[in-house]
Each structure stands twice: as C-alpha cells, then as structure tokens.
C-alpha cells in the first residue's frame, strides 16, 4: 500500500431493511445517518459535507439537508445509478484532500418494495429512450439478460455457473440475521426458478426491498478522534460507458476494467492481496462480468472462476459476504450496502461470517444497465 492516508470510513449503518411499511425515504435515511454517526462517535454538527443519490425527489440533497438540519459547505448529488455511493466516497476523498471539508455524510434510502414503484411504465418515450422503449425490453433485467446471452454465446458460460454465484451468496446470507432471504438454495433451485428474461431465472435476480444506509467519511485528522478504527480509502476509479444497453461498447466487458485498474494503481496493491470482495450483484451476471473486468480472471473465464463455490464461505474468494443484493437486500440502488459490509469486514465485526484477518477489500458498484462503475480499494492498518 502506497497511498497517503487522506481519508477513512469511520461510521456505517443500515436503516430498517426488507419491508418497512409506513416508513418514508427520509425516515430511513435519518435513521441510518444517526446510527452511522453514533458508530463513528460523531454528531450531526461534525458533518460538513452531504452526499446522496436517489430518484425520489427533484433534488434529494436539498430535501435531505433540510430534513436532517444539515447546512453543508460541500454537497454532491452525483447520480450514476447504484454505483453512486462508491463515487461519493471517491469524491469525498478528493474534497478532503483539497481541504474543503473534514466529515462527509453519505446516505441512501428507498421504499421501492412498499411502494411497488419499480415497474411503473411511463407512457411517452423521449430523447434517446424513444429508440428503445417501444420494443418492450423489461428493465433492468432484460438488459442484463442480453449481456448474459452474449457471454454464454462467446464463452460457453452456463446457467449452472451463474447459479453458483446465487447459491454461494445465499450461504453468506444464512449467516447474516439482517438478510431478507436466508434459507439455503441449491443450483437446481436457481435453474428451476421461473424464467424472467432468458437466460436469467428469478433466482439470478436481486431482491426488491426497502432500506437505507449511511456512511461517514472523515479526513485523517477527524478520523483520529473517531470511536472506531479507520477503514482507509486507498484507491478509487470510476467511469460510465453508456446509458442504454444497446450502446454498451462490448456487452461482455464493463467499465470496471478502467475503474478497477485506476483504483488498484492508486492504492498500490495487487489483486492477489485482496481479502474480501464486495461486488454489485444486481444479477448473477453482474458479478461474473465484474470479476472479469476487474482482472480477477480473464475475459470469458468468469464461469470457471466462480465454480466449485469459490465465492462461498470457506472458498478461496470470499465475495458478497452480507448475502449481497441477491439475498440480503436491494432497495434499487445497492451500492451503499457494499461499503457498509466492506467496512464491517475490515473492522472484524462480522461474527460468524467474518473473513479471517481481512485487511484489504475491493468494493465495486455498478449502475444503470452495466452503464457506470465505481471501484474502491479499502484497507485497515
């Protein structure tokens, strides 16, 4: 590790997860924000930068700042989909390095399950949507299905290999009392679950839940007075390559190739040194493509890489140790939960599912339809 200790994650928390009838997106974020500040041993008055992303308001930052009573001197509402929060962390490090602020609060909240809002159709297709929406590709699953189909065609990847990811992720979920789905599953369960968009079955798809989360990023100076040991932010990279799946340059190679390379380079660590991986799993194919793009295996070798329950508890490559978007929670934009779990793993707080002696973690968010990617390398002293 060669990175200067500029900033660290010092507090993380979820709100209530799963089904939260009667709760609002603001309540969930307030609950998570308070718990994350408590985790850090900070108060609201320590916060001088506010980051959030969501589609629940015209300007989520303004409404959230007002609701929480926070008047930030730095604010960032970058919204590149589910990977927004990894980017928020990267942007917070840049802002701290520039001396603009010391403590950032990053939040997310969603009530999509209770609202049943996920698939409401809009009647008019404008701008670039007009060339796509009349054909009826169900988003986001259909776009990921197109990528999966092409990966299978090019490389012979099988549904059984994709199912390995779902089965392994569920094993982690059995050890997380907060996970929405905890009963073990086998490969046959995935393959026999309802087909949604070929080749993706129901159990290749993430959950639809409510939930919120918050992360506190602090300068090295501020981190020194935090209650918890710092989880240092060692490297970051981000990019987006397209908005709609038709315009993805190569359906089987995501922008994580570039964001990952930049994050590893900044951190000065190698892929072999990574102890735990938190990889956005909106679908099984999302995780598989990301592992290839990040360079943990070669393009086309993702199926073999995840075979034999390699990413499961006890496997050589611990991945999505909270149960992931596939089994733990997925309130629409999952990225903040990757950060929460990575921080807890590096702090050794994960109990039964703790990865032994985890010192370095990679976090990779994916947003849109494989559209954006944001990679972080995190480490403890």
Partner 1 sequence: MSSQIPRPLMDSDSQPFWEGLKRQELMIQRCDECHQHIFYPRVLCPHCFSDKVAWTQATGRGHIYSYTVVHRAFGPFSDQVPYVVAIVELDEGVRMMTRIVGDREAIKIGVPVEVIYEKVDDELLLPYFILR
Q: Which residues bind partner 1 (CB under 8 A)?
A: 119-138, 141-142, 145-147, 149-150, 153, 194-200, 244-247, 251
Residues 20-57 as b/e (b if ≥16 CB within 10 A, e otherwise) read beebebbbbbbbbbbbbbebbebeeebbbbbbbbbebe
Tell me the closest approach of the beta carbon of residue 311 to partner 1, in angstroms.
25
- Count of CB atoms within 10 A of residue 309's CB? 16
Task: Using the minimum distance from each CB to partner 1, give the nearer residue, 99 or 120.
Answer: 120
Task: Using the minimum distance from each CB to partner 1, give the nearer residue, 18 or 142.
Answer: 142
Tell me the closest approach of the beta carbon of residue 199 to partner 1, in angstroms.
8
Task: Using the minimum distance from each CB to partner 1, give the nearer residue, 86 or 292.
Answer: 292
Task: Using the minimum distance from each CB to partner 1, give the nearer residue, 195 or 224.
Answer: 195
Tell me the closest approach of the beta carbon of residue 138 to partner 1, in angstroms.
5
> Interior CA angle at 10 toward 7 and 13, to 5°?
135
Please tell me the distance from the alpha carbon of residue 47 to that of residue 95, in angstroms, as a whole number.
13
Tell me the closest approach of the beta carbon of residue 255 to partner 1, in angstroms.
17
DSSP 143: H
Rg (C-alpha) for the chain, rounded Å, is 19
Task: Using the minimum distance from each CB to partner 1, give the nearer residue, 155 or 334.
Answer: 155
Tell me the closest approach of the beta carbon of residue 253 to partner 1, in angstroms.
13
List beta partners, residue 210. Answer: 18
Tell me the closest approach of the beta carbon of residue 50 to partner 1, in angstroms.
34
Task: Using the minimum distance from each CB to partner 1, give the nearer residue, 153 or 298.
Answer: 153
Four-point Cα dihedral 80, 177, 340, 295, nearest 10 = -70
Tell me the closest approach of the beta carbon of residue 126 to partner 1, in angstroms.
5
- C-alpha closest to that of 320 among 224, 159, 181: 181
Task: Using the minimum distance from each CB to partner 1, give the nearer residue, 98 or 124.
Answer: 124
Residues 78-100 as b/e (b if ≥16 CB within 10 A, e otherwise) read bbbbbbbbbbbbbbbbebbeeee
Contact yes or no for 270/340 (Cβ under 8 A): no
């Amino acid at each position: 590790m060669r990175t200067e200790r500029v900033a660290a994650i010092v507090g993380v928390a979820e709100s209530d997860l799963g089904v939260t009838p009667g709760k609002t997106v603001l309540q969930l974020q307030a609950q998570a924000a308070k718990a994350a500040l408590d985790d850090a041993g900070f108060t609201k008055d320590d916060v001088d930068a506010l980051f959030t992303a969501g589609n629940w308001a015209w300007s989520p930052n303004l409404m959230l700042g007002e609701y929480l009573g926070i008047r930030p001197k730095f604010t960032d509402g970058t919204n590149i989909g589910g990977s927004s929060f990894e980017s928020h962390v990267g942007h917070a490090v840049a802002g701290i390095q520039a001396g603009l602020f010391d403590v950032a609060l990053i939040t997310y909240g969603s009530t999509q399950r209770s609202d049943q809002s996920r698939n409401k159709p809009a009647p008019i297709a404008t701008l670039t949507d007009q060339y796509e929406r009349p054909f009826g590709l169900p988003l986001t699953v259909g776009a990921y299905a197109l990528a999966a189909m092409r990966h299978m065609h090019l490389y012979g990847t099988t549904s059984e290999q994709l199912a390995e990811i779902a089965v392994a992720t569920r094993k982690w979920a059995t050890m997380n009392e907060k996970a929405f789905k905890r009963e073990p599953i086998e490969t046959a369960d995935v393959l026999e679950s309802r087909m949604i968009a070929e080749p993706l079955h129901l159990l290749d798809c993430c959950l639809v839940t409510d939930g919120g989360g918050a992360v506190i990023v602090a300068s090295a100076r501020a981190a020194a007075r935090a209650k918890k040991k710092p989880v240092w932010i060692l490297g970051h990279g981000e990019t987006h390559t397209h908005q709609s799946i038709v315009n993805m340059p190569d359906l089987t190679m995501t922008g994580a190739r570039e964001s990952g390379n930049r994050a590893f380079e900044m951190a000065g660590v190698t892929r072999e040194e990574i102890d735990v991986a938190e990889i956005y799993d909106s679908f099984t194919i999302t995780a598989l493509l990301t592992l290839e793009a990040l360079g943990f295996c070669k393009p086309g070798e993702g199926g073999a890489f995840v075979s034999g329950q390699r990413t499961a508890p006890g496997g050589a490559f611990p991945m999505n140790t909270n149960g992931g978007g596939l089994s733990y929670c997925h309130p629409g934009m999952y990225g903040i939960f990757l950060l929460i779990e990575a921080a807890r793993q590096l702090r050794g707080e994960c109990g039964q599912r703790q990865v032994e002696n985890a010192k370095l973690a990679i976090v990779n968010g994916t947003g849109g339809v494989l559209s954006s990617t944001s990679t972080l390398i995190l480490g403890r002293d």
